[in-house]
Structure 1
């Protein structure tokens, strides 16, 4: 069932992205007066088609689900010598260079507009996300050395307001790529006035991160992690180690042995690491009575790993907030998000070319399908966010100046504007072959990376 959900989620996302991209080409081609012969979702052999509209455009579904195309009346591909003058005027290559640029650029532009629409809808609706409150960190971490201790709420990065954990991660990702320091505004408890807070500013250095850190959870490398609830026990399972030792629902854990427990996650980690080992646990019952109890976590096999458990629930959900914006503000925020994501994608590609970022970051259809399935199972908000990011990636990739992509065609037409004449046909053929070679190489790298991820 999980595999089927993944396939359906992947194909649905791909269909939306391809249709939107090709509709961009189609609509602008029609607006420019160019005749569209076929609109195909998928590549290769046509498995279904129907003709609609005044031009009897063929709307088709083709066998290979990766991609799609819009086929226009084009003298390079069809014999137009017998067509009447009115039809010849609608041939693609006879259009002005500006119209051809508009038609080609419309596909990637449609992908960016889709991302903006999705983000704007989500921002306007309201997205529940973890707040930017952080948990205690190791003394050796960059966050601790900057003056953070845990429990603070980060409110801004380099003067830009952040409200959700995803905002914080995004801002720090951009700074980490530039190895620029992060100036964090943090809200701290005021020791001079219990119950009140004050805002302080600390600077976290990011130049200690290496390329491999950016490929994983680099925030953890800095010592930044989501704050967790206090270590208060929830439901106690019958006949488990916790119940047998006398632990009760509502117990607040203070220490495990000599280790002070800072939050629920720290308590869970200690239990998991202590399979079959007696643990001295001290704390306070819900009625205020202190306790000192010995618990021996039972062994539990999870895959190839053996962990300890005491059969007691420990709430771990972080503090959540729901952020929503007015429609105009949501659209502005969506445009900024789409622009920033596009720029970051280009920066990552540039750093791959000069060797600063690993080519392992290139993903192919297998990984994308996996992410589609995962986000679909999490919920509609995660799935829509996934579609928006993939739509941006598709738009950026299509604008790269590689022959056979939209960006390659835009490069040809830009040169035509500069030189006043079209690119020689022989040069175009050579460039097309080179472009196919580049794309096949990138696809091979992407599929190889996908297989390595699956195996690991």
Structure 2
């Protein structure tokens, strides 16, 4: 993949999330009778400006896309005509101001719920939580977990997918708990295993939580049978066909699809002799894998997919689908759990229980955007939902310059019976800008460290 394969999905995601967030502010401001002067996607010099509506609101696309804002009529920023004073933001009741400010983060949560609801209604294909044999001397091995077992629940909570299994483990690992994992094996025997999470380190610089525990997803042994071929791929150009069974490449025998993939990946641009079985006959072909960039490494590809094996597919995948009402409930639950997890991790970072290396900046987010887009639309939608929730949580932090900081001012106003002084707000803004700049710098530093480490 080239750089655009990461930048374009990142910019698309960023644009969607910013527009939704700012539209939350805009819509509630209009409902509260506040005059909106400008809706801007991005900061800095306006590239495109269009005026629309009875108030001639400016709709702006600006040069620097990492953010946006809604500018409202406000006496603190410019003189307001007497006949429009009732439409100034600063003249609204504290409860209306709270509604306008809170609407941005809430819009991000609503977007996440809608995305999850759409996925669960339409159905999304997920990996089953079927375990491979655990590594020796790991927590999973000590717990008695065995290869081929299917996870049914953790601490009594049902588990349907591998992703759900990993998510629940991550949540429980924050508290270093000993959890009960319920499994069922091929003989339909149910087992209960005590899995100790005390040794797990929640840190992006470390291995995944499941890997630390010795847990791996079982990967079936699939024969090296070619499926759909790319029209411009090396396999079709060499004369290979769908349904060919590869038995040898060069001097190496090939039994499994993983054998084929390993040999091809290690031979970009180098001609290989494929021996295949076709209709009972052994045939040989000269195939030159194309050189493709994979995260900075040149690897070989021949443009051939694995033949669909329905029996193996049934063992590996499950389609998660719910009715409209249950899908909505699942979407709300997923959004709530993710937001609560984000808040918990932030709190644990402050007290030192979780490493600050878990902070991610735009480089890491762009990397995830590109990877999720490459994996398919369902994964990209999940990425959008996750980042939308993170944006909502971040903006609710009680830091001046963020929405949460303004909400904090309004809570103080309610308690003391009057607005916070202009001087206090000015000092708060300066502190907030410094904190936000430090947070962004540290997140970017983590991004660079991850790039160097990888």
1:242 aligns with 2:233: no
Quick one: distance in 2 between partners of 1:105 and 1:135?
A: 46
Aligned residue for 2:287? none
Quick one: distance in 2 between partners of 1:35 and 1:355?
A: 44
Aligned residue for 2:388? 391
5 Å-filtered alignment, 1:24-423, equals 24-80=24-80, 82-84=81-83, 87-190=84-187, 197-212=188-203, 215-230=206-221, 232=223, 234=225, 235-236=245-246, 238=248, 240-243=250-253, 319-423=316-420
CA contact (8 A) 1:46 1:61 kept: yes
CA contact (8 A) 1:213 1:221 kept: no
Aligned residue for 2:282? none
Per-residue deviation at 1:171? 0.7
Quick one: distance in 2 between partners of 1:222 and 1:51?
A: 57
CA contact (8 A) 1:215 1:361 kept: no
Aligned residue for 1:16? 16
Per-residue deviation at 1:421? 0.7
Per-residue deviation at 1:48? 1.2
CA contact (8 A) 1:21 1:110 kept: yes
Per-residue deviation at 1:444? 0.7
Cα distance change, pair 421–215 in 1 and its aligned pair in 2 (3 A) = farther
Per-residue deviation at 1:144? 1.6
TM-score normalised by the chain length of structure 1:
0.81
CA contact (8 A) 1:37 1:72 kept: yes
Per-residue deviation at 1:233? 5.3
**RMSD value over aligned CA atoms?**
3.1
Per-residue deviation at 1:401? 0.2
Larger Rg: 1
Quick one: distance in 1 between partners of 2:206 and 2:349?
A: 12
Segments of 5+ residues of structure 1 without an aligned counterpart are: 191-196, 254-263, 273-301, 307-312
Quick one: distance in 2 between partners of 1:269 and 1:182?
A: 37
Per-residue deviation at 1:366? 1.5
Cα distance change, pair 41–231 in 1 and its aligned pair in 2 (3 A) = closer
Quick one: distance in 1 between partners of 2:2 and 2:372?
A: 12
Q: How many residue pairs align between the two structures?
A: 402
Per-residue deviation at 1:417? 0.7
SS at match of 1:144: helix
Per-residue deviation at 1:89? 0.5
CA contact (8 A) 1:38 1:58 kept: yes
Quick one: distance in 2 between partners of 1:404 and 1:239?
A: 61
1:203-252 Cα shifts (integer Å, max 9, x gaps): 21111223448843120121211112137555336552234xxx6xxx6x
1:11-69 Cα shifts (integer Å, max 9, x gaps): 11111000000000000000011110111110112111111111111111111101000
CA contact (8 A) 2:169 2:209 kept: no
1:369-426 Cα shifts (integer Å, max 9, x gaps): 1211221122111111111100000000000000000000000000111110100111
CA contact (8 A) 1:236 1:242 kept: no
Segments of 5+ residues of structure 2 without an aligned counterpart are: 226-244, 265-293, 300-305
Quick one: distance in 1 between partners of 2:409 and 2:334?
A: 30
Cα distance change, pair 240–149 in 1 and its aligned pair in 2 (3 A) = same
- Worse-superposed segment, 99-108 or 356-365: 356-365
1:81-109 Cα shifts (integer Å, max 9, x gaps): x432xx11111111110000000000000
Cα distance change, pair 372–211 in 1 and its aligned pair in 2 (3 A) = closer
CA contact (8 A) 1:156 1:186 kept: yes
Cα distance change, pair 424–146 in 1 and its aligned pair in 2 (3 A) = same
TM-score normalised by the chain length of structure 2:
0.82
SS at match of 2:144: coil
Per-residue deviation at 1:355? 1.6
Quick one: distance in 1 between partners of 2:87 and 2:68?
A: 22
State the 4+ residue runs in structure 1 displaced beyond 6 angstroms: 267-272, 302-306, 313-318
CA contact (8 A) 1:13 1:387 kept: yes
1:4 aligns with 2:4: yes
